[in-house]
Amino acid sequence: MSFPNYPDKHQNGSILTAEQIVAYRQRLGRMPKMDPPHGVLFCLERGLPKKMGWRIPVRKAGSMNADVHAVKKAKKPVAILTNFGGGSPIVAELAEEMAVMGAKRMILMTWGGFLQPDLKPGDIVVCDQAIRDDGASQHYLAPEKYIQADGALALELAEAIRSRGAACTSGTSWTTDAPYRETEAEVRHYQAEGVKVVEMESAGLFTIGKVRALQTVSVIVCMDSLANGQWQVPERLDAIQRSLETVYAAAIDVLQR
């Protein structure tokens, strides 16, 4: 993807910045009521903070195009963002704003389709790089196929997941803005390249990580399968839910370090 009318767009400054938006919200008194976050968890499973509250107490801190929860008694302040929809554009927007607010580490957890036949529902994939088949990243960086996660944070998160008794692998995710335009030809192509999963947010988050020098990583819990060139859904969600809860606890642990 490129911008033929403005091929050097990523080198130009922006009229509106996240710094301006955060300052404006501060003047209006519409900022989340919490200490500046050290870590941020983008949680696509919106009910997890409440469900896991008996293990990891949180409080509602406010909203900013997402519901913002603050982890109680964290070693360093951690914000959990839920109920923001999905896709790279909104994640990139929120990540920029959280960076302005002080965040240094960001983890995104979501569910995704798996492409490889050796994966199954509930398997956990720590995404160490993403294919930039989104639109948001193209506004920030020159066109390239991949965008990298932070390697150290990816290793730390994988170890935290395994320490909780869950298996996980690392690999590449295909980030797309168009879930209803995932074609069989693309799936076969990415399968052959060893791409493990497909989702909608990782490339956007990793791009902000690169632009703003933040540690970012994503973790995908396998849900539906595209491995056979068809969309197949799991019979049960038990394994998926267990993996989401494990990833949630591991991510919060890592974010407050």
Element (H, E) at 127: strand 124-133
User: How far, in Å, CA of 65 to CA of 210, rounded?
Assistant: 23
**Among the residues of 37-170, which ranges form H helices?**
48-51, 88-100, 151-162
Does the residue 2 lie in any domain?
A: no
Half-sphere exposure (CA, 13 Å, Cβ side) for 45? 23
Q: What domain range includes position 150?
A: 14-255
- Is pTM beyond 0.95? Reply is yes
Tens digit of pLDDT for each residue in 161-204?
999 999 999 999 999 999 999 999 999 999 999 999 999 999 99
Give the per-residue pLDDT at 98: 98
Which residues, 6+ apart, have CB-to-CB distance to 75 below 8 Å? Answer: 256, 257
Residue 195, helix vs strand vs coil: coil
Give the per-residue pLDDT at 2: 58
Does the residue 161 lie in any domain?
A: yes
Does the residue 173 lie in any domain?
A: yes
Residue 65, helix vs strand vs coil: coil
Which residues, 6+ apart, have CB-to-CB distance to 118 below 8 Å? Answer: none
Give the per-residue pLDDT at 4: 63
Give the per-residue pLDDT at 240: 98
User: How far, in Å, CA of 256 to CA of 200, rounded?
Assistant: 26
Element (H, E) at 25: helix 18-28
Domain count, the chain: 1
User: How far, in Å, CA of 113 to CA of 24, rounded?
Assistant: 38
What per-residue string of b and e applies to 85-99 under the rule 16 or more CB within 10 Å gives b? eebbbbbbbbbbbbb
Does the residue 8 lie in any domain?
A: no
Give the per-residue pLDDT at 1: 56
CATH number of the domain bearing residue 110? 3.40.50.1580
Give the per-residue pLDDT at 5: 75
Does the residue 4 lie in any domain?
A: no
What per-residue string of b and e applies to 4-37 under the rule 16 or more CB within 10 Å gives b? eeeeeebeeeeeeebeebbeebeeeeebbebeeb
What CA dihedral angle connects 67, 179, 105 and 65, to 10 degrees? -20
Does the residue 18 lie in any domain?
A: yes
Does the residue 186 lie in any domain?
A: yes
Give the per-residue pLDDT at 3: 62
User: pLDDT digit of tens for each residue in the chain (257 aa)?
Assistant: 556 677 788 888 999 999 999 999 999 999 999 999 999 999 999 999 999 999 999 999 999 999 999 999 999 999 999 999 999 999 999 999 999 999 999 999 999 999 999 999 999 999 999 999 999 999 999 999 999 999 999 999 999 999 999 999 999 999 999 999 999 999 999 999 999 999 999 999 999 999 999 999 999 999 999 999 999 999 999 999 999 999 999 999 999 99
What per-residue string of b and e applies to 122-143 under the rule 16 or more CB within 10 Å gives b? bbbbbbbbbbbbbbbbbebbee
Does the residue 84 lie in any domain?
A: yes
User: How far, in Å, CA of 115 to CA of 227, rounded?
Assistant: 4
